[in-house]
Amino acid sequence: MSIIRSLTFPVASLALAALFTFGIAAQAQQSEETVVRRHITVGQGDIAAAGGVKNNYYHVMAANLPGAREAAMKLNGESDKRLARTLPNAVTVPRTPNALTAPYFYPADLAKGTGAALKTVVSHAVYVDYTGTIAANWGNPEGFLTDLGKSTFIHLADQFAGTTASGRYTVGANASVTYGFYGNTLYEHELWAIVHAVAKTDGAGLGHMYHIFLPNGVDTCFDQSTSCYSPDNTNNFYFCAYHSSVTFSDIGTVIFSVEPYQLTPGCQVATPSPNSQLADSTNSVLSHEFFEAITDPIVGSGWVNHTGTPMGGSEIGDECHTLGDANGNNLAPTFLINGKKYEVQTEYSNTYHACAVQP
């Protein structure tokens, strides 16, 4: 009977209801759109600062593509060697089988070097050379970071950061950035110039973290390297994102992550996705890099797997970034983060000796 009654509604009422529903959806979509309040242009001073970088370390997230994991491990190993040369006392636990403790051990557990973990940090989103809206390019990464900072999920970091306080990871100012470059590839030193342009205003040091979002069609490679995020050149396509620490002579150390466009095989999450495949692909890789930058900000000196197993050198996100389907999609669970559904990867817990979504 209820079905029959619903069919007898006046056409005008149905039209009104449709308009009302559309209005609510449009309002919700509008509320998701990020407002970018500042525009920054990279200047010659920023380029010069990038050219004078004292040291930098990085850790990449491997793409779900053949050969990418091995290439990413090699790339991360090069950063580790640089850390050993420039900060020889940063890692106190040797990455050998001696790190395994008898009579039993958990080979995926993380161990701490001498470097700090971030008890608190303000995140800043940096959107580079894009057209259209933030939502059309990346979804709502700042909304995700806000929810993550208020969630129980973020408290997985407590065991590594040494505090259980709530509200310690917040979202600060954002910016759009114009940077003129040739072709479609941004190299590492060019990202340093972008980071410098924003950090000299918003702050350097371990209290700030910058997330650089690159639009569709823009590749990024490490300097003097063929290791890239390059969906248009699969021979060099090895990583989806990375986090890094870089030290400038004028403003000091800056912590940042790089998130290229994630809606591409090798980096994207599988469908269905509660916030769209584009948004949750961005959210998942952003979560990966954020957790890793919290627990290992001066890359390689914080919480890292120190065993001599194939997991040696892995960080909190790598330990749980292992599953992919035949189409190059990353398999991630859907769960509540601050009361909203997201499809993002889990993170490793020494407490559970397993991947988890709560402390």
Domain that holds residue 161: 40-356
Do 185 and 215 lie in one domain? The reply is yes
Do 267 and 323 lie in one domain? The reply is yes
| Residue 11: per-residue pLDDT | 33
Portion of the chain with pLDDT greater than 70, in percent: 87
Do 60 and 84 lie in one domain? The reply is yes
132-136 contacts at long range (C-beta below 8 A, 24 or more positions apart): 133/33, 133/34, 134/33, 134/34, 134/36, 135/29, 135/32, 135/33, 135/34, 135/279
Q: Would you say residue 212 has pLDDT above 80?
A: yes
Q: Would you say residue 25 has pLDDT above 50?
A: no
Mean pLDDT, residues 6-16 taken together: 33
Return the closest-CA partner of residue 150 out of 297, 340, 317.
340
Q: Would you say residue 171 has pLDDT above 80?
A: yes
| Residue 324: per-residue pLDDT | 80
| Residue 6: per-residue pLDDT | 29
Mean pLDDT, residues 116-142 taken together: 97
Do 15 and 95 lie in one domain? The reply is no
| Residue 100: per-residue pLDDT | 58
Count CB atoms within 10 A of the CB of residue 29: 10
Portion of the chain with pLDDT greater than 90, in percent: 77
Q: Would you say residue 19 has pLDDT above 60?
A: no
| Structural domain total, the chain | 2
294: tokens are 């919290």
pTM over 0.95: no
Q: Would you say residue 4 has pLDDT above 50?
A: no
Do 309 and 281 lie in one domain? The reply is yes
Return the closest-CA partner of residue 217 out of 129, 140, 126, 330.
129
Do 146 and 10 lie in one domain? The reply is no
DSSP tag of 183? T
pLDDT band at 114 (very low <50, low <70, confident <90, very high): very high
339: tokens are 């009361």
| Residue 308: per-residue pLDDT | 74
More confident residue, 22 or 127: 127
Q: Would you say residue 18 has pLDDT above 50?
A: no
| Residue 322: per-residue pLDDT | 73
Do 73 and 207 lie in one domain? The reply is yes
Do 19 and 92 lie in one domain? The reply is no
Q: Would you say residue 12 has pLDDT above 80?
A: no
Q: Is 144 helix (H, G, I), strand (E, B) or coil?
A: helix
Do 179 and 132 lie in one domain? The reply is yes
Do 82 and 194 lie in one domain? The reply is yes
Do 156 and 8 lie in one domain? The reply is no
Do 19 and 127 lie in one domain? The reply is no
| Residue 28: per-residue pLDDT | 38
